[in-house]
Amino acid sequence: MDLNSKIVLIYGPTACGKSDFAIKLAKKIKGEIINADSMQVYKELKILSARPLPKYYNNIKHHLYGFQSVRKNFSSGDWLKLVNQKILEVKKRKKLPILVGGTGLYFKALTEGLVNIPNIPSQLRSKIRLLHKKIGSKKFFLRLIKLDPLSKNNIKPSDTHRVIRAYEVKSFTKKSIYEWFKSTQAVYESDDFFKIYIDYPRTELIKKIRARTEDMIKNGAISEVRNFIKLKVPRVKTASKAIGIREIREYINKSMEISEVIEKISIKTRQYAKRQSTWGRGNMMDWNKIKSEDLNKFLKKI
């Protein structure tokens, strides 16, 4: 199997061993690794994000890990701009880019393009949200399909977030959000990628998640959250949603025992892994699905 000139993509649920596999692959094909995980970009969340540590890099260059402040949001669009630059840099060095992570939206943006909708003014957004609250979901949806008929067969009336978003976009841009979607184009062709989806057995993954959570606590996750709290990061910021921050915060405030913290973080991480797998099944049907026990066989074929 020849991966020459390809951009390699590696996706799978959290704790499935993506980072270790990516390093082994990079050593074999002269690759460099680029992060595709939305939490591993934050420099202050080394432990909770399970960011690969430099001592385990094995002389393989890693990019876009731990460079962004938790005080700032970091969007798929921000990532896409940076990752396109990194891919070019890696290729100029005659190396192969290997993108690894569990953020499905990042991979979707890279392979399919990102919708470049203008920012909606905050005043208009507030006004539309107040309207939704005032007249209720049913009447608001009827107003939406009158304003934007394309929404009728594309959004469920109960999907409040998407209903409001569609209303905002049409109100401000005078163009349906679905027209924006159609005009989206990717920078790359589908043949530019070699896509790997790691399929990990659910029961084994649950054990790994529990063990990793215990290791995080032993290796300083509590200190990491103490430092995070000192930064007074607003709860609306993306980094504040990292799994473990809320639970460890409750432990620090003495409202939760450490055993309960470990259990709750493990459960939340399992739920996240399930969502990642669901995303993969629905959006990555053209990817090469490789069972975790077959990864070494795959490496030998290259």
* Tally of domains in the chain: 2
User: For the purposes of burial, counting CB atoms within 10 Å of the CB of 250, is it exposed (0-12), middle (13-18) or buried (19 or more)?
Assistant: middle
Model-wide pTM > 0.75: yes
Q: Is residue 1, in this structure, part of any structural domain at all?
A: no
- Whether residues 190 and 49 fall in one domain: yes
Looking at residue 236, its pLDDT comes to 79
- Whether residues 201 and 293 fall in one domain: yes
- Whether residues 194 and 282 fall in one domain: yes
Structure tokens at 193: 């990628």
Grouped pLDDT means (10 residues each) for the chain, 302 residues: 88 97 96 98 98 94 98 92 97 97 95 86 92 95 96 88 92 92 83 96 96 98 98 91 97 95 98 96 94 94 90
- Whether residues 208 and 232 fall in one domain: yes
- Whether residues 74 and 199 fall in one domain: yes
Looking at residue 253, its pLDDT comes to 95
Sheet containing 193-199: order of strands? 62-63, 31-35, 96-101, 7-11, 193-199, 288-291
- Whether residues 61 and 191 fall in one domain: yes
Q: Domain of 233?
A: 7-114+186-301
- Output the CA angle 257-259-265, nearest 5 degrees: 100
- Whether residues 220 and 75 fall in one domain: yes
Could you read off the pLDDT of 53-83 as tens digits, one per residue? 999 999 999 999 999 999 998 989 899 999 9
Q: Is residue 271, in this structure, part of any structural domain at all?
A: yes
- Whether residues 101 and 54 fall in one domain: yes
Looking at residue 99, its pLDDT comes to 98
Could you read off the pLDDT of 235-267 as tens digits, one per residue? 879 999 999 999 999 999 999 999 999 999 999
Looking at residue 181, its pLDDT comes to 79
- Whether residues 103 and 221 fall in one domain: yes
Provide the CATH number for the domain around residue 101.
Answer: 3.40.50.300
The one-character DSSP state at 66 is S
Looking at residue 235, its pLDDT comes to 86
253: which residues sit within 8 A by CB, 6+ positions away? none
Cα atoms in the Cβ-side hemisphere of radius 13 Å centred on 51: 25
